[in-house]
């Protein structure tokens, strides 16, 4: 809990949430690239087919990174909500939409979970 009656405390927490959001997006992007790299290797090695286990490995690692990114987005949104509830009314900026930053993270996490499911089903 903060002892300053200053809205900068809230904005610092929002910047921290956005930093976690960027980290979550980076993890999801890396997972997608890893999963698609396995597909690329299959296309390159058409003359010499890859073993199924090697092909599935990129899927599992890629989906794992995407789900870790989704968990990062969910946990950071939850942490932000808990912190913003502990702030005094003077520390919350007037006229600022307080629900939007965690809602974006929740949407990002749901999208990543959907992407993971789509990647698994289409493989």
Mean pLDDT value across residues 28-37: 93
pLDDT over 70 (residue 54): no
Q: What is the DSSP letter of 108?
A: H
Mean pLDDT value across residues 56-69: 94
Give the per-residue pLDDT at 44.
Answer: 73
Task: Please state the pTM of the whole predicted model.
Answer: 0.84
Q: What's the pLDDT band for 39 if we cut at 50, 70, 90?
A: confident
Averaged confidence pLDDT in the chain: 88
Mean pLDDT value across residues 27-38: 92
d(CA 47, CA 11): 56
d(CA 104, CA 101): 5
């Amino acid at each position: 809990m903060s002892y300053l009656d200053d809205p900068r405390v809230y904005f610092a927490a929002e910047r921290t949430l956005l930093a976690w959001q960027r980290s979550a997006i980076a993890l999801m992007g890396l997972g997608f690239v890893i999963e698609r790299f396995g597909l690329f290797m299959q296309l390159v090695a058409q003359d010499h087919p890859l073993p199924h286990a090697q092909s599935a490995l990129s899927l599992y690692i890629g989906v794992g990174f995407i789900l870790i990114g989704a968990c990062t987005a969910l946990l950071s949104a939850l942490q932000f909500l808990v912190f913003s509830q502990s702030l005094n009314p003077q520390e919350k900026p007037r006229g600022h939409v307080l629900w939007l930053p965690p809602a974006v993270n929740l949407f990002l996490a749901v999208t990543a979970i959907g992407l993971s499911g789509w990647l698994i089903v289409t493989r």
